[in-house]
Amino acid sequence: MKRPAPTNREKVMKDGDFLVSKTDPKGIITYGNEIFIEISGYQEDELLGTQHSIIRHPDMPKAVFKLLWDRVKNKKEIFAYVKNLAKDGSFYWVFANITPDFNLKGEIRGFYSVRRKPTKKGLDAISDIYTKLLSAEKMSGVSESEKLLGEILKELGGTYDEIIMSLQK
């Protein structure tokens, strides 16, 4: 499927809405709730069976997704601010909690993401951080961007989880 050209038009999540999706262990979408499908602008059958990167926005740094996958493949959850790209080229920010889903043997059988509306404080801080990470990535690659993220967190005085959770309060 052809990738939409990003525009400056923003769709804003409603207070109290939850966008939910589930994937298989490889990140292929197996379920999306109604609001998740609606805001993406795709039809349900265009999303199901497709890689979750179908809604990846080019403004998102690779380092964030690397951290996300490192965490969930290691059976841990992660919270992250994510800028997504809708089918019509518009964007929408979410605050996502991504968790692994286990079978009875404790093996990963897929992943869940539950997203709510990000706080203004969170978006202000994170847009600036993502711009810096993206520019580091473009100039020197993802390992430089990961290094920079570490430095930014150190300067802010907390771990990734501490800083992210404090921004959403």
Ligand X SMILES: Cc1cc2nc3c(=O)[nH]c(=O)nc-3n(C[C@H](O)[C@H](O)[C@H](O)COP(=O)(O)O)c2cc1C
Return the SS3 of 169: coil
In the set 61, 63, 84, 125, which binds ligand X (CB under 6 A)?
84
In the set 52, 61, 133, 160, which binds ligand X (CB under 6 A)?
52
H/E stretch holding 108: strand 108-116
Residue among 82 and 148 whose Cβ is closer to ligand X: 82
Within 93-152, the residues that bind ligand X by CB under 6 A are 98, 111-113
Minimum distance from residue 36 beta carbon to ligand X (Å) = 9
In the set 27, 33, 35, 135, which binds ligand X (CB under 6 A)?
27
In degrees, rounded to 5, the angle at the alpha carbon of residue 6 between the alpha carbons of residues 5 and 12 is: 140
Within 56-75, the residues that bind ligand X by CB under 6 A are 56, 60, 65, 72
Minimum distance from residue 116 beta carbon to ligand X (Å) = 13
Residue among 59 and 154 whose Cβ is closer to ligand X: 59
Are 47 and 54 in contact, with CB atoms under 8 Å apart? yes
Q: In what order do the strands lie in the sheet with 78-85?
A: 29-32, 19-23, 108-116, 91-102, 78-85
3-state helix, strand, coil in the chain (%, to 5): 45, 25, 35
- Residues that bind ligand X in the complex, under the rule CB under 6 A: 21, 23, 27, 52-53, 55-56, 60, 65, 72, 82, 84, 98, 111-113
